[in-house]
């Protein structure tokens, strides 16, 4: 069971990760993370997931995959058109 500091940190972690908190609230969360291993680990996982998602969004599909998908869509449209 977390104390109310943990409850607040976990409830606001998503906003903290995306820098959407007021400065005072972000400072409270940062201070809590410095002293709470459990919440700090959860924050680390959140950072890693956010970075992985950003990287995945930057990647593009290979041209041949795009061509295959478009060809399949055209075939489906032709048969249902």
pLDDT digits (tens, 9 = 90+) for 57-67: 887 878 899 89
- What gap in Å lies between CA 29 and CA 9, rounded to an integer? 6
Please report the pLDDT score of residue 1 as a whole number. Answer: 42
pLDDT digits (tens, 9 = 90+) for 3-43: 568 998 999 999 999 899 999 999 999 999 999 999 999 99
Nearest to 32 by CA among 57, 6, 69, 70: 6
* pTM assigned to the model: 0.62
pLDDT confidence tier of residue 2, bands split at 50, 70 and 90: very low
SS3 at position 4: helix
pLDDT digits (tens, 9 = 90+) for 33-62: 999 999 999 999 999 998 998 888 887 878
């Amino acid at each position: 069971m977390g104390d109310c500091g943990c409850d607040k940190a976990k409830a606001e972690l998503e906003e903290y990760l995306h820098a959407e908190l007021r400065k005072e609230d972000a400072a409270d969360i940062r201070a809590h993370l410095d002293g709470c291993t459990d919440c700090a680990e959860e924050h680390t996982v959140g950072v890693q997931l956010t970075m992985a998602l950003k990287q995945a969004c930057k990647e593009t599909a290979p041209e041949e995959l795009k061509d295959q998908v478009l060809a399949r869509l055209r075939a489906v449209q032709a048969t249902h058109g």
